[in-house]
Structure 1
Amino acid sequence: MEVELLAPGGSFESVIAAYNAGADAVYTGGLMFGARAGANNLTTEELIEALEYAHVHDRKLYLTVNTLLKDKEIETELYDYLLPLYENGLDAVIVQDIGVFKFIRDNFPLMHIHASTQMTIFGKDTVAFLKDLGASRIVTPREFSLKEIENIKNDTRLKDMEIESFVHGALCYCYSGQCFMSSYIGGRSGNRGRCAQPCRMEYDVLKDGKVLNPGNNKYVLSPKDICTLKILPEIIKSGVYSLKIEGRMKKTEYITGVVSIYRKYLDMYLNIPDKYNVDENDIKKLADLFNRNGFNESYYKQHNGRNMISLKKPEFRKENREFNQYLKEKYIGFTLKKNLNIKVTFIKEQPFTISTMVNGTEIIYEGNPVSKALNKPIDKETLLKQMKKTGNSDFDFTNIEIICDEDGFLPIGAINQARRDFLEKVRQYLISQYTRKSVENSNIQSDKNNANNKYIVDLCNKNTTKSVNINVLVSTKEQFKVSMNKDFVKRIYVESSDFSENKILEIIEEGHKADKEIYIAMPYVYRMADKNNFHRNYVKIIEKADGSLIRSFEEYLDLRKINMAKNCIFDYNVYTYNRIAKDFYLNFGGAQTTVPLELNHKEIEFRGLAGDEMIVYGYMPAMISAGCGLKTCNSCKSDNSTYEVVDKHRNRFVTKCVCRYCYNVMYNCKPLSLFKFSKEIISMTPDSVRFSFTTESGNITEQILNKAQQAFIYEKNIQEDDQSTRGHFKRGVL
């Protein structure tokens, strides 16, 4: 196959209909671990039935296991969930969590693994790393340009790596895998498949107290849906193998409509590329199915822009009844037919035989012996009539060759049963080409039995007397000066995007004179152009710094390439939800990992906190986006501005423009503050706790660090106020 058309399936009906409409493959979710928990996801029995249907018709089915998993879920549920699907030939799993990736590779060695867009893969070094780890495909971030895809495809290490990219459907505002907005506001985590889509709500954009989006232009975080029909040839030429349609939450009519139209144009490109031309009527049909004030062509040719954002509430769409009725009649509620050429042998005193060639293999069914007719023989016309009755099976006969004695006989019932048995034999043969044998993993049962026991042992072995190091992240020189004056501060992370090279060099020198460790906090985004930018401006300072705070795996691999990956601390957004993920990053060379922000205290204890760093204060990023609120409001000045995004409850989300790398960081409206839990946190034996400063003044920084000393050194009780949040430390996420 030159190119794959990949469709969403949110229900069993929509999965089958997507194949009927022309999808080469479908991605769908089961009842667990998928990024669309709100879809009408398939049961294991439905998944197996869908797999069989796909394989009979030479199609593929991929399962979404693209959320972050907690230790107990991996140890007690994941193996049993995947085992019957693995045995029945599941074509691939789509994975976000590196711990899940390792678990599947170790326990299901023949399973193809697709690295989800939720992994936030920023460059070709990460792709090469994932390939070596066992991935057969990567799903690019929606923000990738055609040049970035070409850069991956042209890497000699990656010639046989499949690239999957979105070509139609909803567009997230935040980089996938880096969004906490829904999690912070209502405890519904996008990393766990339960995003409440707060980006689709109304917001004001404020700069210096002035509203920049007056009137009805309030949907500043809501991108238009993407439609790439007109640039489909360019996407394919860039190296994209799998053209992915978004929409597992959409109706079956939407899925079939989008798939059928993209099938039309993909076939046009593959068969007559020189005459590729898009009919505007087809664009209108797609818009009738769903759009948000029109379409955009995603980030393939532009980095961001006002034209990509909906701005206004989508208008009511009048149903295109004629098109919807056509889709229902043509694609929904029936099964495809696989065409076979068969040979029927009806010779006296020989078995009634039906045979066919399938994929180069001859399949022969032998029924009851044909007897001599006593009265009315079975003639060719009768045999032909009975053979054509394929009914609601998966097959039709294109050509039927009949070799028949003139005086042979079998009861009509026996002939019909032979036809049904033959078709089932062909069906089972096709399915058997995908099924796998697996060996029961005795270690899994042991893990299940020991999971709760290990939790109890870990709690009993906690060291309640261990001291904890206090580290600080600073974004201003004023915050740095306050931190420098605190003897109990051991390490200072310097937010690299907020300082010039010379300023950081000055900070390193000052810090070392005061016996402080100075680490460079790497950018949140590290794409192809960003990597070059960092090399030009900051790579010299890595040598002088004591270590680095890593925000993406691409950064770590890049530092390794230039022999500067010393004392690398993986930040909270390089996810270590479970022990497998934590051990993976430490064994791969990380000095420390940072505790994920969405685990509650019991889950953190179960995962293990020893040797880790835990963030206990700070305005935490809610979104990292290629989109820019100021540019959307025609106010971009490329000057590293700070502005506010304000919701209907008047919550203010301070947002930084990181113009050197052209991304925005939107911070939560309240700071995380875990002072009141200091004794409990210390008892969990982290190596260090971190206080993260963003826009705080010197005075506020002073107050926070004084409280830090009282809480985490003297273990005094500290009262919290309503102006801060305890995050997920107690409640966690589902």
Structure 2
Amino acid sequence: MITPTPELLSPAGNWDCARAAVAAGADAIFFGLPAFNARLRADNFTDEDLPALMAFLHQHGVKGFVTMNTLIFTGELEAAEAQLRKIAAAGVDALIIQDLGLAKMAREIAPEVELHASTQMTITAPEGLAFVESLFPLERAVLARELSLKEIDRFGQPASTPLEVFVHGALCVAYSGQCLTSESLGQRSANRGECAQACRMPYELVVDGETKDMGEVRYLLSPQDLAVVDLIPDLIRSGVKSFKIEGRLKSPEYVAAVTRVYRKAIDACGCGGPPQAVEAAARREPVITPTDRYSLEMTFSRGLTTGWMGGTDHPYLTHGRFGKKRGPFLGTITEAQNGWIRLDVPPSQQVPPLKPGDGVVFDAGENRDLEQGASIWKIENDRIIFHRTYSGINFDRIRPGVTLYKTSDPALESEIRRFWQNARLTPKRTPLHLTVSGKPGEAMILSGCPGPGQAVAARREVHSATPLQPAAKHPLTAETLEKQLGRLGDTPFELASLDNRLEGDCHLPVSELNRLRRQLVELLAGSEEPAAPRATSVSHRDLLPPSTPRSALPAPRLSVLCRTLPQVEAALSAEIPTIYCDFEDPRRYKDAVALRAGSSTIHLATPRIIKPGELGYLKLIERAEPDGLLLRNLAALHHYRDRSDLVKTGDFSLNVANPITARLLREAAGLDRLTVSYDLNIGQVLDLLGAAPAGWFELTLHQHMPLFHMEHCVFCTFMSSGTSYKDCGRPCEKHVVHLRDRVGQLHRLQADVGCRNTLFNGRAQTGARFFPALQGTGLRHFRLELLDEDPAAAEKTIRLYLDLLTGRIQPGELAAEVAAQEKLGVTEGTLASAR
């Protein structure tokens, strides 16, 4: 068995990055267009760029993948369809897609283009992948970055769909597709390519109402960057098909430097041979040198880690000391005078060489917006000297104990720039397989086909104008034929094989051999033109839900999500018909179900994330015997798809933003209701409710928006000396914790059963003002989500919203009452945002 060589996939935010990736050995690049891509701040490519870009890539044997990895709103379906058709016409190799409805559109409208499930789909378990596979065929699935090597192995080898993983670059602290922070705090949705990087901001830790002194540790949610170059052999053994480098906002120097290091690592792994070759390569001395590692760290890093690949180690991932680019650590200042410093370097530390012109930053543990940096002026013996005038350094703030990091190396940047700018990009030639046949007195037949094998459909043949003659002295040997017919010069072909089937000793003038070669090449080159995309008459309109006449509308119904048993009791006393339970400890679900009374029903929420080996949480929910389920991830949809005996509601985390996604999920998972995506403002919600039956949906009218949903545990990292749940002491169960942001707002932090953390917006969001318009669409299911309210506050909030639904209180009055009750304020938040 041959071990296939995995694909190396590099980012390209512009033309220079694309050229740099090709020069450094990428097998494919991924890039975005101005709309529907998750890196809107990148330069990106235009529709007009597409044909030239794809021609350039294909000429050099490189594939091009377009990212349409954002949610698609109802009013954008027509524009998305038009973009899909342009992408197909340009010969794009694959689409990377988040939105399930858009993926369905792509499969139907552009069937020639490969479909890759984006990491934004939050595929964290084999069961989640199986659910997506049941919706439409996939050529690739990009897994969540929170998975370890052992968890990736659980997908099977080979997996049903080829797998792709990120191997290098920035890490999002929240699960991709599950971060609502930018949306909630600044109306800039990460699910729409507008991430404001709130995770890179400083926060204060507030424990039981007291601000904890954290010293210089302020960046509690900012992970270090990912670099798994040493784990490439392990990933190959796991059967991963594609290794992806993050960085569409980075420079071409970053793209070139990182791509060539990973190209080197992959090429050294013995792929293309038997598994024993990969094993032997893994046992040899590492090919990645300190110089290679230095280039990875220098071009961009906040510190390099193996992320979650090696397993859970929370402090290793997020140390909290900075959130910006740092580069290599140089040492600690032992002496500082006006204009120069001396460093102490630990004996075990491999410190990169310093030279005049290199940039450094002084880490004094202060506000990172105020930290100082400069270029080195001179180095004399062990003194590092800065220009006292032009460096801009205030040396009164530089003292022993301050650490120094290297932030720029102009010489390295120049070398990398010359590398990608001056690289000779040789067009990739197609292997040509030739056959020569004939005998004296007959025309010689030259036939050939491009590519591997002897495909009949691609074969062309030409005949000599004069018959073959008996050879008196110099017959046409295989060597002679290869010499003349292999002279393919500037053609797109190179001779791969020649099958000489001439009978007897034959002769043909060299001029005629050359003419035959040129004629065959012309035929083959013409047949190599890409076929026009197969026309498809399918439109996005064909995928919309069928229109149904509106029947008599029932009275609006309120459901309440509770996070404690006392809150459940408050909801029961108000006779709420649907009560959702979302407890940190699902073992307490049976206690909630036991409280069931009257006409109230108890519905249990699954964890928001299910990883390999965690289906036991779902079985625990089943044993509690609820009336219904609140399903929050793809794996749960797959697990419960045949449970028609339970009322099933798809939660907000399924990202239902358009009617095609709604129809797809409702039919495939047998859902009774779907929660409207939290990324939609009121106009977009009304568009959705106008394009699909309003009875399908439930809308959250009041909540504390879940901002970050993270594998990273703040409790373990900053409130214990442990590294995981095994040795952290469970501070999450003993303390009430908030994070205070830069504007002074407190946000509640909670852990779930998998020790995943959710940071909730401290300000409650109410959609009360929009209730009449929502009710007018036929929407009848509204939800109230409680967070940490005590029984009295829970009961009052429930009564207010019941009065709103029955008309006993007006929206403005309710908003004023809620504002008076909420300690940290209230907002209309995402519903009111204008986009």
Q: Which residue is 1:262 aligned to?
A: 262
CA distance in 2, matches of 1:115, 1:407: 54
Kindly indicate whether the alpha-carbon contact (under 8 Å) linking 2:559 and 2:782 is maintained by their aligned counterparts in 1: yes
Q: Which residue, 291, 297, 322 being the options, matches 2:411?
A: 322
* Equivalent residues in 2 for 1:584-603, closer than 5 Å: 584-588=664-668, 589-603=670-684
Kindly indicate whether the alpha-carbon contact (under 8 Å) linking 2:131 and 2:637 is maintained by their aligned counterparts in 1: no
Instruction: Write the letter of the residue equivalent to 2:232.
Output: L
Q: Which residue is 1:372 aligned to?
A: none
Q: Which residue is 2:341 aligned to?
A: none
**Judging changes above 3 Å, is the alpha-carbon distance between structure 1 residues 462 and 226 closer, same or farther for their aligned structure 2 residues?**
same
Q: Which residue, 14, 21, 26 being the options, matches 2:24?
A: 21
Q: Which residue, 306, 309, 333 being the options, matches 1:297?
A: 306
The alpha carbon displacement at 1:190 in A equals 0.6
The alpha carbon displacement at 1:668 in A equals 1.1
Aligned residues: 682
The alpha carbon displacement at 1:240 in A equals 1.4
What TM-score results when the alignment is normalised by the length of structure 2? 0.74
Is 1:655 the counterpart of 2:749? The answer is yes
CA distance in 1, matches of 2:8, 2:235: 13
**Judging changes above 3 Å, is the alpha-carbon distance between structure 1 residues 263 and 483 closer, same or farther for their aligned structure 2 residues?**
same
CA distance in 1, matches of 2:210, 2:118: 40
CA distance in 2, matches of 1:626, 1:142: 10
Kindly indicate whether the alpha-carbon contact (under 8 Å) linking 1:572 and 1:595 is maintained by their aligned counterparts in 2: yes
Is 1:631 the counterpart of 2:724? The answer is no
Q: Which residue, 765, 771, 786 being the options, matches 1:678?
A: 771
CA distance in 1, matches of 2:88, 2:525: 19
Q: Which residue, 66, 72, 76 being the options, matches 1:73?
A: 76
Instruction: Write the letter of the residue equivalent to 2:580.
Output: Y
Kindly indicate whether the alpha-carbon contact (under 8 Å) linking 1:98 and 1:581 is maintained by their aligned counterparts in 2: yes
Q: Which residue is 1:374 aligned to?
A: none
3-state SS, counterpart of residue 324 of structure 1: helix
Q: Which residue is 2:315 aligned to?
A: 306
**Judging changes above 3 Å, is the alpha-carbon distance between structure 1 residues 15 and 705 closer, same or farther for their aligned structure 2 residues?**
same
Is 1:64 the counterpart of 2:156? The answer is no
Q: Which residue, 641, 648, 652 being the options, matches 1:568?
A: 648
Kindly indicate whether the alpha-carbon contact (under 8 Å) linking 1:56 and 1:427 is maintained by their aligned counterparts in 2: no
CA distance in 2, matches of 1:611, 1:300: 39
The alpha carbon displacement at 1:324 in A equals 2.3
Provide Cα deviations, 1:157-204, integer angstroms capped at 9, x if missing partner: x64420100100000000110000011111110111111111111111
* Equivalent residues in 2 for 1:428-577, closer than 5 Å: 429-430=527-528, 432=530, 435-441=531-537, 443=539, 466-487=554-575, 489-498=576-585, 500-501=587-588, 504-512=589-597, 514-535=598-619, 537-541=620-624, 543=625, 545-560=626-641, 563=643, 566-577=646-657
Instruction: Write the letter of the residue equivalent to 2:656.
Output: T
CA distance in 1, matches of 2:717, 2:226: 17
The alpha carbon displacement at 1:675 in A equals 2.1
3-state SS, counterpart of residue 270 of structure 1: coil
Deviates more, 1:325-334 or 1:127-136: 325-334
Q: Return 5+ residue gaps in structure 1 as ranges.
A: 344-349, 370-383
* Equivalent residues in 2 for 1:675-714, closer than 5 Å: 675-714=768-807
Kindly indicate whether the alpha-carbon contact (under 8 Å) linking 1:86 and 1:436 is maintained by their aligned counterparts in 2: no
Is 1:726 the counterpart of 2:809? The answer is no
**Judging changes above 3 Å, is the alpha-carbon distance between structure 1 residues 533 and 591 closer, same or farther for their aligned structure 2 residues?**
closer
CA distance in 1, matches of 2:81, 2:200: 36
What is the RMSD computed on CA atoms of the aligned residues? 3.8
Q: Which residue is 2:403 aligned to?
A: none
Q: Which residue is 2:189 aligned to?
A: 189
The alpha carbon displacement at 1:553 in A equals 1.7
**Judging changes above 3 Å, is the alpha-carbon distance between structure 1 residues 341 and 69 closer, same or farther for their aligned structure 2 residues?**
closer
Q: Which residue is 2:468 aligned to?
A: none
Q: Return 5+ residue gaps in structure 2 as ranges.
A: 272-280, 327-360, 362-405, 435-442, 466-483, 498-506, 721-727, 820-824
Provide Cα deviations, 1:17-57, integer angstroms capped at 9, x if missing partner: 21221111111112221111111111123222222233233
Give the helix-richer structure, 1 or 2. 1
3-state SS, counterpart of residue 135 of structure 1: coil
CA distance in 1, matches of 2:54, 2:595: 63
The alpha carbon displacement at 1:528 in A equals 2.2
CA distance in 2, matches of 1:231, 1:442: 44
**Judging changes above 3 Å, is the alpha-carbon distance between structure 1 residues 128 and 709 closer, same or farther for their aligned structure 2 residues?**
closer
Provide Cα deviations, 1:219-244, integer angstroms capped at 9, x if missing partner: 11110111111122112212211111
Kindly indicate whether the alpha-carbon contact (under 8 Å) linking 2:678 and 2:830 is maintained by their aligned counterparts in 1: yes
**Judging changes above 3 Å, is the alpha-carbon distance between structure 1 residues 354 and 71 closer, same or farther for their aligned structure 2 residues?**
same
CA distance in 2, matches of 1:179, 1:553: 16
Kindly indicate whether the alpha-carbon contact (under 8 Å) linking 1:462 and 1:683 is maintained by their aligned counterparts in 2: no
- Determine which structure has more spread, i.e. the larger CA radius of gyration: 2
Kindly indicate whether the alpha-carbon contact (under 8 Å) linking 2:109 and 2:536 is maintained by their aligned counterparts in 1: no
**Judging changes above 3 Å, is the alpha-carbon distance between structure 1 residues 463 and 212 closer, same or farther for their aligned structure 2 residues?**
farther
Q: Which residue is 2:355 aligned to?
A: none
Q: Which residue is 2:220 aligned to?
A: 220
CA distance in 1, matches of 2:187, 2:611: 30
CA distance in 2, matches of 1:422, 1:327: 42
Is 1:83 the counterpart of 2:85? The answer is yes
The alpha carbon displacement at 1:464 in A equals 9.9
**Judging changes above 3 Å, is the alpha-carbon distance between structure 1 residues 275 and 182 closer, same or farther for their aligned structure 2 residues?**
same
Kindly indicate whether the alpha-carbon contact (under 8 Å) linking 1:569 and 1:592 is maintained by their aligned counterparts in 2: yes
Kindly indicate whether the alpha-carbon contact (under 8 Å) linking 2:10 and 2:245 is maintained by their aligned counterparts in 1: yes
CA distance in 2, matches of 1:187, 1:689: 22
Instruction: Write the letter of the residue equivalent to 1:290.
Output: F
Instruction: Write the letter of the residue equivalent to 2:427.
Output: K
The alpha carbon displacement at 1:619 in A equals 0.8
Q: Which residue is 2:132 aligned to?
A: 130
**Judging changes above 3 Å, is the alpha-carbon distance between structure 1 residues 404 and 217 closer, same or farther for their aligned structure 2 residues?**
farther
CA distance in 2, matches of 1:565, 1:195: 40
**Judging changes above 3 Å, is the alpha-carbon distance between structure 1 residues 511 and 267 closer, same or farther for their aligned structure 2 residues?**
same
CA distance in 2, matches of 1:306, 1:70: 38
Instruction: Write the letter of the residue equivalent to 1:335.
Output: L
**Judging changes above 3 Å, is the alpha-carbon distance between structure 1 residues 339 and 465 closer, same or farther for their aligned structure 2 residues?**
closer
Percent sequence identity over aligned pairs: 25
CA distance in 1, matches of 2:293, 2:645: 49
The alpha carbon displacement at 1:715 in A equals 5.2
Q: Which residue is 1:240 aligned to?
A: 240
The alpha carbon displacement at 1:587 in A equals 1.2
3-state SS, counterpart of residue 253 of structure 2: helix
3-state SS, counterpart of residue 426 of structure 2: coil
Q: Which residue is 1:376 aligned to?
A: none
Kindly indicate whether the alpha-carbon contact (under 8 Å) linking 1:462 and 1:684 is maintained by their aligned counterparts in 2: no
**Judging changes above 3 Å, is the alpha-carbon distance between structure 1 residues 45 and 699 closer, same or farther for their aligned structure 2 residues?**
same
3-state SS, counterpart of residue 76 of structure 2: helix
Instruction: Write the letter of the residue equivalent to 1:34.
Output: N
**Judging changes above 3 Å, is the alpha-carbon distance between structure 1 residues 356 and 596 closer, same or farther for their aligned structure 2 residues?**
closer
**Judging changes above 3 Å, is the alpha-carbon distance between structure 1 residues 406 and 151 closer, same or farther for their aligned structure 2 residues?**
closer
Q: Which residue is 2:41 aligned to?
A: 38
CA distance in 2, matches of 1:146, 1:604: 40
**Judging changes above 3 Å, is the alpha-carbon distance between structure 1 residues 210 and 276 closer, same or farther for their aligned structure 2 residues?**
farther
The alpha carbon displacement at 1:474 in A equals 0.6
Q: Which residue is 1:375 aligned to?
A: none
CA distance in 2, matches of 1:637, 1:92: 46
3-state SS, counterpart of residue 219 of structure 1: coil
